[in-house]
Amino acid sequence: MAIVGSNKLFQIVAETSYLGKNCANIYWYRVPSVLGVDWAVLGANFIATVLDNITPRLSNQADQHTLTVSEMTSTSNFGTMSGAGVGDVLSADIAASFIALSVRLIRSDKSVRSGSKRYTGMVENNLTGNTFLPSYLTLWNATAYYLNVAIDLGVSGSAVPCIVRRTYVTVGETKILNPASAWIYSDIAEVVVRSQVTTQNSRK
């Protein structure tokens, strides 16, 4: 079991609008560095490392419009910026807004549950029944690799993707959220792209 401790812990919320619906995926990164990391620097490098690799897989009707970056181990290092923009896939045969592709983030220890990401903005010609075509899954397997890549932050080191569990202390009959430094994290052992179609939901 790993405690956040002296790591800087960041939460990134990436929002996508598609066919009138707003969808969100939540990503966690830890920075094992004594140097400060500006939220905007991490956000820009997250777009370049992660979202720019997802964009080619999404319909041009899907707009990755907003990114909110928050250092959970700080009270002042946070902000909102534009996301990666619209997807690259041009197709009139777009899938419904509730259709999503799921990527499983497998934990490296049992102190947290494995995580998941779900991506909307699919097109029908990448589907057969309730599964994605093998050729499309091959593309996503290459894309999902970047969900477990440390983001280069220059002199501040790197931001390591992880899965996080908040912890609480009980005072009397009240549960109080611990400071983020007392939360538990697990690094990601592997990422697995699911072949079955799933539905969209905000994922942690």
In tens, the pLDDT along 88-139 reads 998 888 999 999 999 999 999 999 999 999 999 999 999 998 999 999 999 9
Give me the percent of the chain exceeding a pLDDT of 90. Answer: 90
Distances (CA, A) of 171 to 175, 183, 184: 6, 17, 20
Tell me: pLDDT of 71 over 80: yes
Cα separation, 74 vs 72, in Å, equals 5
Q: Report which residue type is found at 141.
A: N
Q: Which residue in 119, 59, 122 sits closest to 89, CA to CA?
A: 59
Determine the pLDDT at residue 200. Answer: 66
Tell me: pLDDT of 202 over 60: no
Tell me: pLDDT of 73 over 80: yes
Tell me: pLDDT of 1 over 90: no
What tokens appear for 13 in the block? Answer: 């919320």
| pTM over the 0.85 mark | yes
Tell me: pLDDT of 148 over 50: yes
User: 132 by DSSP, 3-state: which?
Assistant: strand
Tell me: pLDDT of 149 over 80: yes
Neighbour-count burial of 62, counting CB atoms closer than 10 A to its CB (0-12 exposed, 13-18 middle, 19+ buried): buried
Cα separation, 51 vs 2, in Å, equals 27
Strand partners for 32: none
Cα separation, 133 vs 35, in Å, equals 45
What's the CA dihedral at 187, 160, 82, 123 to 10 degrees? -50
- Which helix (H) or strand (E) segment holds residue 136: the answer is helix 134-144
Which one-letter DSSP state was computed for residue 97?
A: T
Place of tokens 């619209």: 86
Determine the pLDDT at residue 102. Answer: 97
Q: What is the mean pLDDT of the chain?
A: 94
Q: Which residue in 146, 136, 143 sits closest to 196, CA to CA?
A: 136
